[in-house]
Structure 1
Amino acid sequence: MRRDQSELSALSRLFSATVFRELAKQGHSQLAGRLLSQSRLPQPMNSSLTLSDVLDQAFQALKVSGCRDEYVYRSALINKIVLGRHSLRTATVLNELRAGRCKVDAAVLNGTSTAYEIKSERDSLGRLADQVENYRNVFASVNILTSSVHLKHVLSTMPEDVGVMVLTDRYTLRTVRTPKNLPERTSPTTILESLRSNEAASVLGELGIRAPSVPNTQLREALREEFSMLDPIAAHGAMVSTLKRTRSQYDLSSFINRLPPSLRAAGLATKLNAQERARIIDTLNAPAATALHWS
């Protein structure tokens, strides 16, 4: 089915953080109801279809090349790499982590750190060089996940140590260039900017250095002085082990596995309490037709 721009926009917004939070906090979403009505998904809906089924159908429509937004790419990354090659029991995914002047789309921490910058066919490449420069100061490996539309430009302009992956028309991930793992390239003071103060103190502790004992108003400057003297490889390794502990998603494994594949990226990016997690699972398993009445 060929869809116009307004229908594609409605489909895309179904996977927004706003809709996901409303479903989790309220068990319904007026916005989701309106978007379902606008998106030309099967109506009247088969009584056997759950909301989860319909959202997966919406995502199938978004996966068509040329229509794919950042969320479609993020979903491929989460399902095919984070949950496909790794596990939340052994790896941690960080969304929107600060790296220098930028925030990384996603970073995976296992034995090392890998940053992923997403550039879909809808995105501009204007900021890419600056983003990559900042990521290389924090993460040992940097990967760009992009479209074939941007591939030639990305390959010709990005440093040789930066990996390049393409989301193909068949919704598979193809590695065009493998990233190099270079923790020695990182900057300890830039790493510090990505950490909370207690995490920075933990990094120092892992390296056998006592955290500064100064008033809170002076703490960040004192931490910066300590980090400026660290070996990059040591600082990076301690950062990885610290963040895997402080931001572990181990307890999310069961919840994420119960979500439909189309919502797993949203589930990992949204902080919910146990009650909200249970509520959204119940809502997703309810008949989809009821959602049309939310609007």
Structure 2
Amino acid sequence: MNSKRTYNSDQLRDYSSLFSRNSVKEWMSGDLSSIDYKIDRYDKNWYSKNKNRYIDYLKFVYGILDIHYQNEYIIKNSFLNDWLIKEVGESNSELYSEFRVGTAIADLVMFNGTSKAFEIKTELDTDKRLNSQLEEYRKVFNQIYLIVPSSKIKQYETYDTNVGIICYDNKTPERFSRFRPAANNKIIDSKALMNVLHTNEYKEIVAHYYGELPTLTSFNQFEVCSELISHIPKDELNQFFINQMKKRAGTYKLSSRYFVEFNQISLALKMNDKNRKKLFSVLKAPLNV
């Protein structure tokens, strides 16, 4: 049914704003006006036939976006659901959404036995900043993957052949497929790593490797620890980094069965089971437009 309707780009962008941090934070506080507005503006006819719950409308909108507007949220969420959640369930892995490294922000990052960065390029994106992004990721990650539309493989396969490529096509049963594996790199740039680590994390690495912390002040701790960390063998430093990031991740809840449309936003907001239950309790309220 959704595919028979037509949607202009402005409407699709407007729909996509529902799956944002700000919208979810509003819903958590009991403010559902952003959803009411979309129904009143675009979907009065749907509402007249489907006087259900807010969650039902959001699933309806997600279905439209999934077919007609493969933006970053949809691709991220689909990749989480189709690929990463299974890997998390089968290994001691931790995930991050929007992980800052230097001047770049990786779309998704996974830490298990290795560190992996995933950079998503949708049909709507250009590769203008890609070289600088990859340069930053190479400094601290063991493996880097580009997630790109299958229609743009030729455009992206010419980049560094050490970078893996995962292609996606929402018209195929297996939406994601590995086009090229990523090469493994464990040469960590200690200076770049220092700007990723929190103060307590780099202190813990120093104390663990050297047996104790030297005398530090708030003024010199970064410089002193940076110098000491630069002398740690790269393979050991790589493992220290992975261990620290797995500890930092904290608690978040994802599901492979229920409300899968919201896994990406749950990860981005680090929502635990209690917060997810609260969100869906709010969204199960009857529509009242």
Superposition TM-score, scaled by structure 2 size:
0.89
State which drifts further: 260-269 or 4-13: 4-13
1:125 counterpart letter in structure 2: D
1:132 Cα offset (Å):
0.7
1:51 Cα offset (Å):
2.3
1:6 Cα offset (Å):
2.3
Aligned to 2:161: 160
Note the 1:254-273 alignment, pairs <5 A.
Answer: 256=255, 260-272=259-271
Q: SS of the counterpart of 1:248?
A: coil
Q: d(CA) in 2 for partners of 1:89 and 1:191?
A: 24
Q: Does 1:30 align with 2:33?
A: yes
Contact 1:144 1:164 in 2 (8 A): yes
Deviations 1:204-243 (A, max 9, x none): 3343453343111221111211122122221111111121
Aligned to 1:108: 110
Superposition TM-score, scaled by structure 1 size:
0.87
Contact 1:91 1:109 in 2 (8 A): yes
Aligned to 2:67: 64
Deviations 1:58-95 (A, max 9, x none): 11111226x21111111012112221232398211122
Q: Which of 201, 212, 215 is the matching residue for 1:213?
A: 215
Contact 1:82 1:88 in 2 (8 A): no
Q: Which of 3, 8, 12 is the matching residue for 2:7?
A: 3
Q: Which of 142, 145, 161 is the matching residue for 1:143?
A: 145
Unaligned runs of 5+ in 2: none
Contact 1:51 1:284 in 2 (8 A): yes
State which drifts further: 240-249 or 117-126: 240-249
State which drifts further: 104-113 or 278-287: 278-287
Aligned to 2:79: 77
Q: d(CA) in 2 for partners of 1:196 and 1:68?
A: 34
Runs ≥4 residues deviating over 6 A: none
Contact 1:17 1:270 in 2 (8 A): yes
Q: SS of the counterpart of 1:205?
A: helix
1:277 Cα offset (Å):
3.9
1:100 Cα offset (Å):
2.3
Give the number of aligned pairs. Answer: 282
Unaligned runs of 5+ in 1: none
Aligned to 1:123: 125
Greater RCO between the two (CA within 8 Å, min separation 6)?
1
Q: d(CA) in 2 for partners of 1:20 and 1:3?
A: 24
Deviations 1:149-176 (A, max 9, x none): 43211101x2111111112132611111
1:124 counterpart letter in structure 2: T
Aligned to 1:178: 181
Q: d(CA) in 1 for partners of 2:155 and 2:240?
A: 35
State which drifts further: 190-199 or 95-104: 95-104
1:110 Cα offset (Å):
1.1
Aligned to 1:19: 23
Change (3 A) 1:100 1:72: same
Change (3 A) 1:270 1:89: farther
